[in-house]
């Protein structure tokens, strides 16, 4: 008997389009999901013929509305610019499709709220947001340890997402323009660690007590290829500078629903930290520590070990029998990488569409992403108004 | 010709009395200072005869006032409870002595200010405060790297001092009583990392933008040996509980004088972190990272290395020719420990008394400790009043 | 213009068949090779229909001889049991095909020699052996550092490949039977680190000076599912035991062609080391260190750094512009995993078929694998005869 | 009541004289030993007046024979050149004294055997050899773990002692002259790791199966200050070179008494490894790993942990209640350093003199050091004769 298939449409063909295409191409090879994805259509405003051919998308189009309404399509996957997430997702939900969407959920909190509300009503459709680190076995194991009571009451969460590509010599890319990118490190990086905190602890962030957002590099060189488009711009030896209108770094502290303290910090100016997505959790019975730069390892401290032996334990999260997702890949101790997170979460999406109750780890849905966006908003408000912001004030 | 000597009097005979006695005993053996310390008198309110005999203090007394005024004494070293620092130090300064004092400088900001003021007027007397980590070669090297311009403009400082001995089963020791200890993790631990930040960067903390102070364990068991002293207390099977009146953890964020962001967090509830006095500094040209639990290593990232080679460099700070203090001890790569910090700083104290211009690293003086205390105060005010506090508001 | 394609036939459908299928599926997506592989035929003695369908092999057959002779096939990829490598590879070479083969090259040294000889004569055909760790960017970078003179004269190589799955409770799998597996840890693991040593240093191992081969667990439980096949065997509560006829661990020391010393150790009884493929190289000008368990990091020590700064540098080998293979995958600092090694080496195979002169790193060819097999043989001889063995004695 | 004292005489006043003086000065302050050491006399062939005054030795003399016979002296401590150990130790033993001696025990195996024999006969006198790493809490804990059965049958020991100060630019110091130093890295460094292996495992090394000793740097520049003493030598621009007559590196493999394999490697040419005294032990039930460069940490792997949690555990060996020696120093998690090993072992020496049955860890005695010297000899013989050497052949 042939497997059931579902037709997937991809919106977008950039870096994330590549990561998602890889996920759809490979998920069926490694995971024995009930539904097998068919790479049906790639919708992109740019010419995506070569991209689609390379990855095996059977069709390619610029008409996203037609795709969102196409009855042949079962599920859409959105990795277009942030301000287009809402119209695509809303249209696709309305036309009965399952929707997977890149983070952040939307360009504005209003949009995010609307998307979460609609998702809530469409009870038979699955929504998912690509907080891809949930697909890392180590992070899934961290969540399991909390669920199993290994950590106990959580006193502290300490999360950072530090990169270093945004130094003074980096030109004024679209990522430094507020109208294109929404925010800087905050939406790009803090979004991830807020989600990790919620995912692992199962708690909400209930208050941002203090926050600092800073743009250290106020002006950046306009890329040469853009100078022609700018009034007075000329391609020449002399550089022209333009304003950076996003944050380089945002740091804030706050509270968890069970009373613990939490700190979050993101930066693109943290030299030497390439992709340092780090989280440490301290609880009454134990602690956990993870850094994406060593993504296959989870550090665990059991405060109940006898004092002779007690110490941080470095767990290689590649045990096929014990660690999330791993059994689908290689034998024990064969290291996974960045893109496996996407493939793993694609399998969860397919499992949920198939109505499977027990998935490897819960992927983020639209509501999770909306909660995350509320925290981002609260942090910005706190930084701007120079006061604590309760999450209950941010709808 | 005999060496010149200076007569030292120690105030106090507890844990810190031991660490300081060790410093005075050994500094003359390892360092060729102009003045050799003589362990003249130990002043202690408890019976310190055995203590003094063990460490070789020639005299022992309970009459601290007499010692503070004794013309035979050249320098006093104070490691008594915090609320006695001010009277002893002020008396000793008035009577012309050099003064070394344990941190925090005083029990109140008013006292600290008065001490710093008097110290400033007594221009020929040396004051020092035992921020002992300044005596770690790795921290001194970190400061040198900043001075040499290896880090450039500082974007971020991220400092934590995390311990784990204060869980729910720890009884109501004096350290959990506000009247005895002043504060909890804040004064004990944040004091150190505030000093490290100032020491390495050479910058002031100019604002506390947000702050959280928390007492997670509200009640603790009264130690059995104290039950007899408590109304209704009885030694028996049933535990009696009393209120903890200090913070278990304080976390705050703020600004440095050159615009960088800084975060500080201390806790006694960070399971698995035994003495994790950590600091990370990110600047335009490079980064630094240190953790007291690996006190002999300094991590350095040079953002100007070519991209093929660039990476965090793990420097063992035990090179006799290149790293602060090391040449006085053992050959290269022979690890130093906790107490060496005290011996090293004792040598700086003696060097400064001898008028030496170029000391290995600048030890903290009363003014440094006063500035540190202002930051501690600002953090408490910010937590209490739930608003940012500029340091200029804290006199 | 359509891309040129080459038709690939896979021999085998086990664990390695999976790893190789993944490589052929993905190499064309990530690498812009001149020739695009077509997954033409899977040849397997077991029923491989589902396997082939899953991975997209267009044809499936049990008739390996027909495939080896099929003029439609341009290249064959062999991952069948070791004793079948030689007949398949020789037939395929004779019929003009390019040949990629799993390690070890052959079941016997005689076969390996014959294969290397034939490969040498077939100058227009490419041969490759899947020493997959050559495809790790960090190992490629290590080789580049040696080539660039960063290490200078090599004094020491220290290599280990340590696993821990072979404890007393592990049953008598085929891997513990000499007739099926050839050898134990030696052929499976030492093969890899011998190749790494040759790959990075560019030197030959010229002598095995001393060697120990040991079977610690002499008897192992016969797997229940096999008991029926064994004389007197019965499925029941009582375990039956059989002899393990391979080594659990082999350690040996020797010499490199430029005079350096080298040590090699492999074990399946090194508890806690899951896949610890480690190598450390010490030379006059610097040192290198790598462990597959942290495969994205290369540690480098520059002995010419000034003594204040000198320290092991932890290089994250994920810089798209500077590190081998990385530019074909994700942005900087997005971690790669185990299977990327295969995809990377598949691209080298395709590049060499296309006559490209400058490949990312040189993959192992039949001659490399034959040299490796000579070293393995020398180590066994040395252990058996209890004397040093010069490689010149092992033809 | 006054404490009992014992009068100690130190032989030698060099680097080790400093380390030992520090031990005798401080052991009484930190340890409550029954006998308190009195620093009675320093015997040295060079002028040691300043040295003795600095450290507080009450007498100083060049007449070592008189000291060895002096009835006032209870214990002698020998840190003179290796070829003088035997005469001093034998004389002191004959005159009834306790003897502590630097490693290696003697310049020749004959001397070592004689010393061990005499020590065996003098049953009421304590002998000790300063294998100082036995005084590191982490190494003591490793031994305890083996004793407790946490490791089970030992399969592998892997030990290295790697330094990097012996590069081509290092001049022809006495350490490179066979007549002065006996051997190079072998006696200096392999001695330590052989002892660590015996100390932790409680097993003997029963065979050296293969061994390589190498002098990479055949000639070294004669130090300028020595040129005047050399025939034809002249102080000038042109360097003169002399032959190095010791090994730079020795690596060997062998067997333990319970059948495990062991490898040992020492080098002065291992760039980046400053004092990398490393040992790893793999057993049926667990593994251990230690590196002196991180001397306060012991890594432990419990193979019986469940697979979800299993991982190397990083134990900070500074728990006052659980780890050897620590309770005598500072509160938990206050790092110890290099010289603490000597102070700790001095306390063991005093405890044994006082007849204490249960010491913190067993220090090495003359027999231990003799066994170690037999292994060193066997490794040299194996390297020279190019064959395995059974320890039973080396008397």
Q: Is the pLDDT of residue D236 over 70?
A: no
DSSP state of D212: E
pTM score, two decimals?
0.96
CATH class for the region spanning A137-294+296-326+369-385:
alpha beta
Task: Report the C-alpha gap between C89 and C93 in whole angstroms.
Answer: 6
Q: Which residue in A has a C-alpha nearest to residue C56's C-alpha?
A: A29
Q: What is the mean pLDDT of residues B288-305?
A: 97
Which of D334, D340, D341 is most worth mutating to test chain B (most B CB atoms within 10 A of its CB)? D334
Average pLDDT, chain A: 95
Q: What is the pLDDT of residue C1?
A: 39
Choose, out of A3, A23, A333, the residue to mutate when testing the contact with C (most C CBs < 10 Å): A333
pLDDT for A101-121, tens place per residue?
Answer: 999 999 999 999 999 999 999
Q: What is the ipTM score, two decimals?
A: 0.95
Q: How far is B140 from chain C (nearest CA, A)?
A: 12
**Dist. CA D277–CA D264, nearest whole Å:** 11
CB atoms B312 and C308 under 8 Å? no
Q: Averaged over D122-143, what is the pLDDT?
A: 98
B321-350: average pLDDT: 95
pLDDT bucket at D224, cuts 50 / 70 / 90:
confident
CA distance D102 to chain C (A): 29
Q: Where are the beta strands (DSSP E) in chain D?
A: 4-11, 35-43, 59-61, 75-78, 98-101, 127-129, 154-162, 205-214, 219-221, 241-243, 249-256, 261-267, 276-283, 286-291, 297-302, 312-316, 389-390
Report CB contact under 8 Å: A293, C19.
no
Q: Give percent of chain B with pLDDT exceeding 70.
A: 96
Q: In CATH, which superfamily holds the domain spanning C140-294+296-331+366-385? A: Dihydrodipicolinate Reductase; domain 2 (3.30.360.10)
Cβ atoms D335, D295 nearer than 8 A = no
State whether CATH 3.40.50.720 applies to domain A4-133. yes
Does the distance separating the beta carbons of B316 and D274 come in below 8 Å?
yes
Which stretches does DSSP call E strand in chain A? Answer: 4-11, 35-43, 59-61, 75-78, 98-101, 127-129, 154-162, 205-214, 219-221, 241-243, 249-256, 261-267, 276-283, 286-291, 297-302, 312-316, 389-390
Give the total residue count for chain D.
395
pLDDT over 80 at B40, yes or no: yes
Chains near C (3 or more Cβ pairs under 8 Å):
A, B, D
Are the beta carbons of C155 and D249 separated by less than 8 Å?
A: yes
pLDDT of residue A1: 39
Which of A55, A334, A338 is opposite residue C275, by nearest beta carbon?
Answer: A334
Q: Min CA distance, D361 vs chain A (Å)? A: 15
Chain A residues closer than 8 Å to C292 by CB: 335
CA distance B292 to B139: 9
Spatial CA neighbour of C337 closest among B259, D61, A336, B368: A336
Q: Is 70 exceeded by the pLDDT of residue A2?
A: no
Averaged pLDDT for residues B118-132: 98
- Measure in Å the smallest separation between the Cα of C325 and chain A Cα atoms: 14
Chains within contact range of chain A (3+ C-beta pairs < 8 Å): B, C, D
Mean pLDDT on D77-101? 96
Architecture of domain D140-294+296-330+366-385: 2-Layer Sandwich (3.30)
CB contact under 8 A, C253 and D270: no
The pLDDT, as a whole number, for residue D123 is 95
Contact D330 B295 (CB under 8 A): no
For residues A376-391, one letter each, b for 16 or more C-beta atoms within 10 angstroms of the residue's C-beta and e for the rest, the string is bbbbbbbbeeebbbeb
The pLDDT value given to residue B182:
85
Q: Residue D1 pLDDT > 80, yes or no?
A: no
What confidence tens digit (pLDDT) does each residue in A134-168 have?
999 999 999 999 999 999 999 999 999 999 999 99
Cβ distance B209 to A211 less than 8 Å, yes or no, reads: yes
pLDDT reading at B1 higher than 50: no
pLDDT bracket for residue D228 (50, 70, 90): low
Closest residue of B to A156, CA-based? B270
Per CB distance under 8 Å, which residues of C are interface residues toward A? 15, 19, 21-22, 25-26, 28-29, 54-55, 163, 165, 274-275, 292-296, 316, 318, 329-340
Nearest CA to C278 out of C286, C266, C268 is that of C266
Which residue in chain D has the smallest CA separation from C289?
D272
The yes-or-no verdict on residue B231 having pLDDT over 60 is no
- Strand partners for C10: C42, C77
* Residue in A307, A312, A319 closest to D307 by CB: A319
Residues D160-196 pLDDT 10s: 999 999 999 999 998 999 988 888 999 999 999 999 9
Q: Do C308 and B316 touch (CB under 8 A)?
A: no
Residues B63-110 pLDDT 10s:
999 999 999 999 999 999 998 999 999 999 999 999 999 999 999 999
pLDDT of residue B332: 87
- With cut-offs at 50, 70 and 90, classify the pLDDT of residue B117: very high
- The confidence band for A45, taking pLDDT boundaries of 50, 70 and 90, is very high
Averages of pLDDT over runs of 10 residues in chain C (395 residues) are 82 95 97 96 96 97 96 97 95 98 95 98 97 98 98 98 96 91 93 98 98 98 77 61 97 98 98 98 98 98 96 96 95 92 98 95 98 98 98 95
**CA-CA distances (angstroms) from residue C290 to B90, C249, C280, C300, C314?**
58, 21, 6, 9, 10
Compute the nearest-CA separation of B151 from chain C (Å): 13
**Domain spans in chain B, listed from the N-terminal domain onward:** 4-133, 142-294+296-327+366-385
Chain B residues touching residue C310 (CB < 8 angstroms): 315, 319
- For chain D, which residues lie within 8 Å of any Cβ of chain A, measuring from their own Cβ? 141, 144, 300, 302, 306-316, 319, 321-323
Does residue B235 register a pLDDT over 60?
Answer: no
What is the reported pLDDT for C181?
Answer: 85
Residues of A in contact with B211 (CB under 8 A): 209-210, 253
Chain D closest CA to B336's CA: distance in Å?
A: 4
Fold assignment, B142-294+296-327+366-385: Dihydrodipicolinate Reductase; domain 2 (3.30.360)
Interchain contact, A319 vs D308, CB within 8 Å = yes
What's the pLDDT at B224? 80
Answer for the pair D342, D23: CB distance below 8 angstroms, yes or no. Answer: yes
In the predicted model, is pLDDT for residue D237 greater than 80? no
Total CB pairs under 8 A between chain B and C:
48
- Rounded to the nearest angstrom, the minimum Cα separation between D174 and chain C is 22
Residues of C with Cβ-Cβ distance to D255 under 8 angstroms: 212
Whether A315 sits inside 8 A of D319 (CB atoms) is: no
Which is it for strands D389-390 and D205-214: parallel, antiparallel or unpaired?
Answer: antiparallel
Write the pLDDT tens digit of every residue in A217-247.
999 999 987 776 555 545 555 789 999 999 9
| Nearest by CB: B294 against D15, D294, D338 | D294
Rounded CA separation B174/A27 (Å):
59
Per-residue confidence (pLDDT) for residue C3, from 0 to 100: 57
User: Which of B333, B336, B342, B344 best probes binding to D when mutated, by most D CB atoms within 10 angstroms?
Assistant: B333
């Amino acid at each position: 008997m042939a497997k059931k298939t579902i037709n997937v449409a991809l919106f977008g063909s950039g870096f994330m389009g590549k990561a998602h295409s890889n996920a759809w191409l490979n998920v069926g090879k490694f995971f024995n999901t009930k539904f097998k994805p068919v790479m049906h259509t790639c919708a992109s405003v740019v010419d995506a013929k070569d991209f689609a051919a390379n990855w095996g998308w059977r069709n390619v189009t610029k008409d996203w509305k037609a795709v969102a309404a196409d009855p042949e399509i079962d599920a859409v996957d959105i990795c277009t610019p942030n301000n287009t997430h809402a119209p695509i997702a809303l249209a696709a939900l309305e036309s009965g499709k399952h929707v997977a969407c890149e983070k952040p959920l939307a360009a504005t909190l209003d949009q995010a709220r609307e998307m979460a509300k609609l998702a809530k009503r469409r009870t038979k459709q699955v929504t998912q947001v690509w907080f891809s680190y949930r697909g890392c076995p180590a992070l899934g194991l961290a969540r399991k340890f909390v669920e199993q009571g290994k950590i106990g009451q959580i006193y502290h969460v300490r999360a950072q997402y530090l990169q270093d590509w945004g130094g003074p010599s980096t030109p004024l890319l679209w990522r430094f323009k507020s109208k294109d990118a929404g925010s800087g490190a905050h939406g790009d990086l803090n979004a991830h660690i807020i989600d990790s905190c919620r995912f692992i602890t199962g708690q909400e962030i209930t208050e941002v007590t203090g926050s600092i957002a800073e743009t250290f590099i106020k002006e950046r060189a306009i890329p040469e290829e853009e100078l022609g488009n700018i009034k007075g711009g000329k391609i020449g030896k002399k550089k022209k500078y333009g304003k950076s209108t996003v944050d380089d770094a945002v740091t804030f502290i706050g509270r968890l629903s069970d009373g613990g303290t939490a700190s979050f910090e993101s930066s693109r100016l943290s030299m030497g930290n390439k992709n340092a997505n780090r989280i440490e959790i301290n609880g009454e019975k134990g602690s956990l520590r993870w850094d994406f730069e060593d993504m296959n390892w989870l550090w665990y401290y059991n405060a109940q070990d006898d004092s002779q032996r007690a110490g941080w334990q470095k767990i290689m999260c590649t045990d096929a029998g014990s660690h999330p997702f791993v059994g689908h890949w290689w034998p024990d101790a064969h290291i996974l990488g960045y893109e496996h997170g996407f493939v793993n979460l694609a399998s969860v999406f397919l499992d949920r569409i198939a109505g499977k109750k027990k998935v490897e780890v819960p992927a983020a849905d639209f509501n999770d992403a909306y909660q995350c966006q509320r925290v981002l908003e609260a942090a910005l408000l706190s930084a701007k108004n120079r006061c604590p912001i309760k999450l209950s004030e941010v709808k």
